[in-house]
Amino acid sequence: MLHIGFVLPPDNQSFLPFRNQPLTPLYIFTILEEKFGDKLDLSIIDLRGVRPENIKYYLPEKDVYLYTAMTPDYPDICEVKGLLNSIYPKALHIAGGTHINLFPDKSLQVFDSIVLGEGEEIIVQIIEDVLNRALKHIYKNTKLIDLNSYPYPLRKYLNLRAIAEKGLLRGSNISSFGTNVLFSRGCSFQCKFCANLNFGPVRYRAPKLVEQEIEYLKKEYGVKVLALKDDNAIPLNKKIAKSFLESIGNTNVKWRGQSRANGISEDIVKIAAEAGCSDLGIGIESVSPKVLKIINKKIDLRKAKEYIEVLKKHGIGTRLHFILGLPGEPNDIASRTLDFINEADPKSVILTVFTPYPGSEIFDSPKKFGLKKINPNWRGYQSAFGRFDENEKPEMMFEYESMTPWGKGISNEKILENYSKLQAILRERKLIF
């Protein structure tokens, strides 16, 4: 039997590290179990919340360790890999994920094998190669997978208490058990600050499969609340939106997700509300039309406010996302953002400071956006600050030139001042999510 462990890094950046269920490992394990049955022993090595000095006590011996790396957790993943290597030198280490795709050469110096592209199609081949002692250094899948060809991810590989938890929705649903789901991949927009590697056509799971997965979560784990992790939980295509939302509605759950600020009509909002949508996060990003144009956000602020009103009319709460420090930002962004918040009157706000994530156009072409330097300390690439200590200041991972293509570059001091000022007001008003 081949013993495989999927490593979940410590995630010391999250206030609630168990709030996000790790769907990628669950998809991969479900596929492997279906294909290989009891030839494999599959387990998740869940290090979330484990203090760095204690990690060594949580590392069981396996033949193969798998990893999926985003940029902020890459340093932790490398450290865990190093520890495992020193304790179990014969084991193999295979990694995929966004950061590996962006930096394949450097990743190959750390791991025995790397996976480029979506992993579902190729993981069976990789494990067959391991069983045949013929593991290659690089596996590449250039095709977009058909989401409907794969089963929903079984949650049983996680500790029972890590599958669903209370507090995913507030108000009357606060004590209901909830969990994360992902029913689509891709985004048809191309915001310049976004590190989404899934640009292109949006692929949705078929409504029947959406219903099946939710019914499984309800039956096995008592789930009544969902957080949709899809880039756009309300599809922009009306026909798809209708069948997608109705399939969720058939299951009688309550849910939250993310939505574009424009382009969704009231009849679809009504269907979303009837389908149990309770809250939507909306990426406004900036209240400066100039900034929105530079980052290619393709939203209209007036229409965004109208959309928020429509959502409220149908009983859907809004959580607005803003990023301070984007290219072209004016010095008075804090007061302008506050004016927007006062008018829109959202249920909550998430305020972050811009981070030029690898994979985004801004990271790839900093000069074009007036950035003088980018700090490659990946540990600082996080978007949530002040989780443990409200006085914690965001780490600035970049600096603007004094003169940018849009005039005088905003200074890091000013960005932090705007952030602190606005964050303090939001905290006092209990608007922080």
Q: How far apart are CA 327 and CA 289, in angstroms?
A: 12
Give min distance, CB of 217 to ligand SF4, in A. Answer: 25
Nearer to ligand SF4, 64 or 295 (CB): 295
Nearer to ligand SF4, 62 or 297 (CB): 297
Neighbour tally for 124: CB within 10 Å = 15
Binding region for ligand SF4 (CB under 6 A): 187, 189-191, 194, 196, 231, 283
Quick one: which of 153, 111, 105, 170 has its CA closest to 135? 111
Please answer whether residues 313 and 350 qualify as being in contact, where contact means their C-beta atoms are separated by less than 8 angstroms.
Answer: no
Nearer to ligand SF4, 189 or 216 (CB): 189
Quick one: which of 265, 323, 272, 269 has its CA closest to 297? 323
Neighbour tally for 60: CB within 10 Å = 11
Nearer to ligand SF4, 247 or 259 (CB): 259
Q: Backbone dihedral region of 274: left (phi > 0), alpha (psi from -120 to 50 degrees) or beta?
A: alpha
Neighbour tally for 391: CB within 10 Å = 6
Give min distance, CB of 212 to ligand SF4, in A. Answer: 26
Give min distance, CB of 181 to ligand SF4, in A. Answer: 17
Nearer to ligand SF4, 359 or 394 (CB): 359
Give min distance, CB of 199 to ligand SF4, in A. Answer: 7
Cα 225 from chain centroid (whole Å)? 18
Cα angle: 342, vertex 323, 73; to 5 degrees:
140
Q: How far apart are CA 331 and CA 408, in angstroms?
A: 10
Give min distance, CB of 190 to ligand SF4, in A. Answer: 6
Nearer to ligand SF4, 20 or 190 (CB): 190
Give min distance, CB of 185 to ligand SF4, in A. Answer: 11
